[in-house]
Amino acid sequence: MKTALITHADCLGHVTPDGHPERVARLQHILHALEPLDLNRVTAPMAAEDDILRIHPADYLHDIRAARPTDGFKQIDGDTFMSPGSVDAAFRAAGAVVRAVDMVLGGEAPNAFCAIRPPGHHAETSTAMGFCLFGNAALAAKHALDHHGLNRVAVVDFDVHHGNGTQDLLWDEARALVITSQQMPLWPGSGRVDEDGAHGQILNIPLAPGSGSAEMRAAYEGQAFPRLRAFQPELLIISAGFDAHQDDPLANLNWSTGDFAWITSALCSLARELCDGRIVSTLEGGYDLNALSAATKAHVEELMKAAT
């Protein structure tokens, strides 16, 4: 079986103002970079309303729908915008992670990558922020737990910004281990080590500005990987942000494209050991187009190697 690539053209319909870092070109460059790869290409379905209600209350869903502009843009917060196509894009992004979980747990694919936007890991229970509308990674976890009946799911988030939304949405979820590394200090300002969840199931790994490969690898080998082994997840979800790249304009970590290959390969090895290789990865950040496309391709190529 092949790695599944799940995406939809509707995700290109989420348009942001000129100069905004989270732009249509991000997904266009990623899809172009992945075009030569031998992947199982899957069209993302539209998420059902019940899927969104696993993580967000009905009032929030109503407010997101009501905020959809008929033309131009609607500003949700300081850096989050909606265009006429944003709601459909967000429902496709959520539908992609649900489909990915169904495929991987149903034996249709060994692992999957969701090439989607808007991203999700900053969307809190009732707050859209940080370019994000729905909490895609948290939704994937809750769908696996509640719909498929798993007992333990792990989320690993290596985006350079803290996944405050995933942390908020899974704060009380004892069945979900959340491991997130992030540059600190950096927006959104959360992600301290003492933010450890209602059940001690959240591990935050702050990384200093200017640090790079050595510090990241030591942190994952010393903290993240032992916690994953101790937790014994039945599914691994990756929030795959590529803005820790040394060329990214929004942060100050110095990861190379090879570092993203390394961390993906290591997570694939752990998934083989712990959960029959079952991984669902979903796109988060990454804003230098060349670095983003190269790092995403390296990430997917490691998923492909693990699938063989």
What's the distance, CA 302 to chain centroid? 17
Maximum alpha-carbon separation in the chain: 50
Residues 64 and 133 sit within 8 Å (Cβ to Cβ): yes
Paired sense of beta strands 74-75 and 81-82, if any: antiparallel
DSSP state of 173: -
Give CA–CA dist 148/145, Å, rounded: 6
Query: Nearest to residue 259, comparing CAs of 203, 207, 308?
Result: 207
Q: Which of 29, 122, 143, 162 is catalytic?
A: 122
67-76 long-range contacts (CB < 8 A, ≥24 apart) are: 73/15, 73/16, 73/17, 76/128, 76/129, 76/133
Phi, psi of 22, rounded to the nearest 5 degrees: -90, 90
Give CA–CA dist 192/270, Å, rounded: 25
Q: How far is CA 302 from CA 37, 46, 166, 270, 308, in A?
A: 12, 28, 24, 13, 10
Neighbours of 275 (CB within 10 A): 20
Residues 235 and 144 sit within 8 Å (Cβ to Cβ): yes
Q: Is 217 left (phi over 0), alpha (psi -120 to 50) or beta?
A: alpha
Query: Is 122 noted as a catalytic residue in this protein?
Result: yes
Give the pair of three-digit tokens for residue 208.
């200093």
Active site residues: 122
